[in-house]
Amino acid sequence: MRARYLALCGHVCVTMALLAAAVSCENKRSTTASQPALDAGTSEVRFSDGPSDREELLECEVAARCLPQITPYTITPDRMACILEGLGERKLERYVHETESSWTNGSAGANQVLITRDDGSAYYARTKYVDLMSLDPALIKEATQLCTLRDPSYFNACAEAALAVQPRDPSAARAWECAFGEGDEHPTEFDVFEGCESASASCE
């Protein structure tokens, strides 16, 4: 437990430094250009006060299948299984998921929304954050991506693993990976895609 705590603290420090640097660079750039910055990946990063792509996708008139899994860095078995089962069925539906790691004086994570489609693709957007009690929250609003969902067999196995989770279960590694990606190392990840490309936010 102590080793895991130290590893998480180290990751949080790195995450905070990266986010601080990104905010600093954007503040300097905003006085000379109106173009948004780009993330190291394929997602556009915005530091504007306007609505995020995640919020735009939340406004879509698409049925929400499941209650969101939002308990910080734990797994609520029935809610997580509902999300994973739904992603495997590939219907036009909306899913909300939060990946978060918290500690004594703050938290880091991502609020995420997916709109799945019958062809096995999904519109996906997230807002990442680092929230410390002593500092203003740092937000990174990422632009929408159009992603290809993993094979249904992946989600079926993940749903079974999620339903089997018991409180303080040390054997829940499979469910943990399905819900939080690489866990301690990347608390903002939801590793359910084969690949993604930039796209405009869409409800269809």
Count of domains forming the chain:
1
- Model confidence over 91-126: pLDDT tens digits? 999 999 988 777 778 878 888 999 999 999 999 999
* Cβ atoms of residues 23 and 37 within 8 Å: no
How high does pLDDT run on average in the chain?
74
* Cβ atoms of residues 108 and 100 within 8 Å: yes
Residue 203 included in any domain: no
Residue 93 included in any domain: yes
Residue 35 included in any domain: yes
pTM, rounded to two decimals: 0.70
Residue 78 included in any domain: yes
Residue 82 and residue 86: Cα distance in Å, rounded? 6
Residue 204 included in any domain: no
DSSP 36: P
Percentage of the chain modeled with pLDDT above 70: 67
DSSP 95: E
Residue 75 and residue 105: Cα distance in Å, rounded? 21
Residue 150 included in any domain: yes
Residue 20 has pLDDT above 50, yes or no: no
Q: Give the structural domain span for 47.
A: 2-198
* Of residues 16 and 66, more confidently modeled: 66
* 3-state class (DSSP) for residue 164: coil
Tokens linked to 126:
């997230």
Residue 183 included in any domain: yes
Position 38 confidence tier, pLDDT thresholds 50, 70, 90: very low
Residue 182 included in any domain: yes
- pLDDT score of 84: 95
